[in-house]
Amino acid sequence: MAFGGGIFSGVGILIVSAIIIFIWVFIEITRFKHKIFAILSIILVVFLYFGAIVVFQGTDIDFTSYSGMIEATKIYFSWLGSVFGNFKTMTAGAIQLDWGAANKTAIT
């Protein structure tokens, strides 16, 4: 078999190249998903940390006792629930706005 025929033909090289490119794209997409997960995890941890600082800044809670940890957990999750409630209210308010092209209140 000569070098230009069979598996070494243009079609064979094209198929092998397509398979290699598919595998490379698949690996890059998987790597990208892991990067996005890592970034979102870091953002979540930073949000929870600064949220705890804001919530516990003016309180006198004993973090060394069991009852203090229970109280701190109740306060923190109460605050977190109110944050999500506020997001829900803002989203509902934004949905109810007139976002059409003929919004007469935005025209000056």
- pLDDT tens digits, residue range 36-95? 888 889 998 888 888 888 888 888 888 889 998 999 999 999 999 999 999 999 999 888
Instruction: Please report whether residue 105 resides in a domain.
Output: no
Q: Are residues 52 and 14 located together in one domain of the fold? A: yes
Between CA 33 and CA 39 the distance in angstroms is 10
Range of the domain at 26: 10-58
Cα–Cα distance, 88 to 95 (Å, whole number): 11
Judged on CB neighbours under 10 Å (0-12, 13-18, 19+), 101 is exposed
**pLDDT higher for 4 or 22?**
22
Instruction: Identify whether residues 21 and 37 lie together within a single domain.
Output: yes
Residues 52 and 22 in one domain: yes
Residues 68 and 39 in one domain: no
pTM passes above 0.75: no
